[in-house]
Amino acid sequence: MITSNRVRWHLGRVISRQFETGSAVRLELAVPTWPGNDAGAHLDIRLTAPGGYQASRSYSLASSGESTRVVLVVQELPGGEVSPFLVRQLAEGEEVEVQGPLGRFFVWIPAEPEQSPVQLIAGGSGVVPLFSMASARERELKGAEFRLLYSVRSPRDEFFADELAELSRTVVEIVYTRESAPGAGRPPGRLTREALAASTFPASLSPRIFVCGPTSFVEAVAGWLVELGHDPTQIRTERFGGSR
């Protein structure tokens, strides 16, 4: 558990950038003063224009643990103030201001004694903090059973496709909402309450549940989970607004 980290501003340098999808970039930043972060935490990136105008946005971290390298995946929001710059312009070697690590609610901490399984449910780019949790679980020999249900438009929009396929301690199920993989068993379509019930731990196992995605997705899923008998206090949510 990362305990003694006081939140502050840091300077991060872009070590690498690569397109994760056609409209999202994976950025690795070297942040020499970063104290490490729990899985699921986020940071704020602040951009300053020549005139002094500043804009900041929150981004979930795909990485966790005691490292001074952090990884995030930024989805471009057309017309946005910050994400188009990060996705299209910010180059390797350039510096950005980051504040963090932020958030202690939507985090999974491996050392916690855990009897019940952990269910992760992602909508679109909401998979980033949940991937971080699954990766942290991957580093532990013993621990809770993990499942990830990932709702995404099409195979082209999938984040961490290679890494998800390699997870050995998390059972991954992907629901394509618009376009399926070639030869996929089921046609594309939005997640329904029945599909959710069929692809997640049942309420009888009292799983801890983390849901992250667009606000409409999170609220639909959280509502269904309660209808399916899950304890609302076991459900942790993070909403990031509009679609994607």
Partner 1 sequence: MTHVDGNALAGAFATALGIEITVTVGRCRGCGSSFNLACAHVFITAMGAVMRCGHCQAVLGVIVRGFRETLVNLSGLDYIRVPRL
User: Footprint of partner 1 on this chain (CB under 8 A)?
Assistant: 3, 7, 42-44, 52, 56, 58, 99-100, 102-106, 214-216, 236-242
Closer to partner 1 at the Cβ: 120 or 174?
Answer: 120
Closer to partner 1 at the Cβ: 53 or 168?
Answer: 53
User: What is the rounded distance in angstroms from the CA atom of residue 130 to the CA atom of residue 128?
Assistant: 5
Closer to partner 1 at the Cβ: 176 or 230?
Answer: 230
Segments in the chain forming alpha helices (H)? 83-88, 127-138, 161-166, 193-199, 215-227
Closer to partner 1 at the Cβ: 124 or 172?
Answer: 124
Residue 121's closest CA among 35, 7, 42, 224? Answer: 224
Residue 70's closest CA among 121, 110, 11? Answer: 11
The least CB distance from residue 238 to partner 1, in Å, is 5
Which token pair is 203? 């309420």
User: What is the rounded distance in angstroms from the CA atom of residue 114 to the CA atom of residue 211?
Assistant: 18
Instruction: For the beta carbon of residue 3, count every other beta carbon within 10 angstroms.
Output: 8
The least CB distance from residue 214 to partner 1, in Å, is 8
The least CB distance from residue 147 to partner 1, in Å, is 22
Closer to partner 1 at the Cβ: 78 or 242?
Answer: 242
Whether omega before 50 lies within 30 degrees of 0, making that bond cis, reads no
The least CB distance from residue 115 to partner 1, in Å, is 22
Largest CA distance in the chain: 57
Please name every residue paired with 15 in a beta bridge, in sequence order, or none if there are none.
Answer: none
The least CB distance from residue 210 to partner 1, in Å, is 12
Closer to partner 1 at the Cβ: 33 or 216?
Answer: 216
The least CB distance from residue 205 to partner 1, in Å, is 23
